Structure 1
């Protein structure tokens, strides 16, 4: 979902399907285990946050996962990782089939994450920002024992404010730099991105997490951009003032999260690189996917334990992912 403004700056099309799945079913879609399927790509940073939240909260059985391949064409994400190229539950080859089942004239982007109702085969929502909040607040009856509070009531105003900074300057900022069509638009996005990263470095120098002393929604939203930074954004999107690995505080913070159950065990660097370097042919017309960087540094000690903090608050870490959802280990 994107377009380029006349001044050659990038804006994201944010016209999402805002139907919500709630405990009381007020939009017609009540929380019900097994009724829905969460469709993601491991390449997509927006889908990645839903994958992490689902893992941390232990919703794997209540909300089964469908994983699309890392690349797509102009039509849609495809289920090319599955036998016969079809999702085994929904029976479709392309995610767009679920969108068109509900909206035959749908004219917006076919995006992930999306939640599809299994009985009807229709998309319910692709509103990724609200989706993860609802997993925290509306699906509580199916959270695992020891699930953390990722959006605690007392901190929501601060989390919301930090989330807005993350989205504007980092999550979307890297795209504004990478998709800019003028030097001026690129430099504006580049400057805002690194100014914000510098501010987060200052904030995190004395605090293990962004808000409070536990992992929250804000950390998840920042992590999905940081984990893609050196592999994609630094070169492909020309966000090259520094690599993440050259920013000591953010690099240690990102490694701390990566080594936390529910984070690194949802990262597939091969899928990430395939997506950005193949799909964005206007930026990388050769389609060559870089061999590096070496991902093994993500497993180096981070030393952030010295700052204290309780990753899961009063909760516990999630168990290991099921074999059918495991990502390739770092080598």
Structure 2
């Protein structure tokens, strides 16, 4: 049915107002719906933004921690680099010092080599001189041996000395009394060289020993033996290697004076001519020879007195 047509002007105005109110109501409802939708969207957006902000804050905190650890690592790296640089500097200084020390050691070795060569040459010269001295001693030994053999041939018997030739005065008196009484303890009963001849031989031996001390042939550490039981030798040169009687051997620093039927005793000579033997019992060579001569002279004087008394 068609709408009613307003009959009057007032009805028309009221109808227009009613239409306008209806339009406003619809518009308000649309705006309210739109506002509600926008509120929902804004709430969702707000939640999303808050979530994003929180995640960004967490990421920022993580980055800050990472930056802190990275800063610590960089600091450690710088410290290690500084330490390595200081070590390299010290190694460079040490290398330079080692080079200087090596150069100094090379110079020292060169100097010591020259000194060693010079010392070796001096030692070779000394060894040659000692060889010459030993040859002279061997020749003198041969002459002494010939003299002793000649004296033995002149007397027609071997030397009468025994192992008790250095005896006490009372023992010598006892033996002299035995000889005066016709006993068998004296040297007269055995026959042979006289005491004067043997004293001359001892004097020759002492002179030889003094010559050894003055010629420089006997240095510190050399050994001298006094007597030996071997019957046919007068002087023997001993050393680290075997030496023949003709002296054809290397240089030695040990000598022995050998007389028939005498006991060998080693003597260590020092730089002042004094010496010591095994266990400190052997005397110096020169002093021992002098004591031997003195005792022989005393014994000879007593013997002569005994003969004169008889």
Give the TM-score normalised by structure 2. 0.19
Between the two structures, name the one with larger relative contact order (CA 8 Å, sep ≥ 6).
Answer: 1
Q: Max radius of gyration: which structure? A: 2
| TM-score (normalised: structure 1) | 0.18
Comparing both structures, which one devotes a greater share of its residues to helix? 2
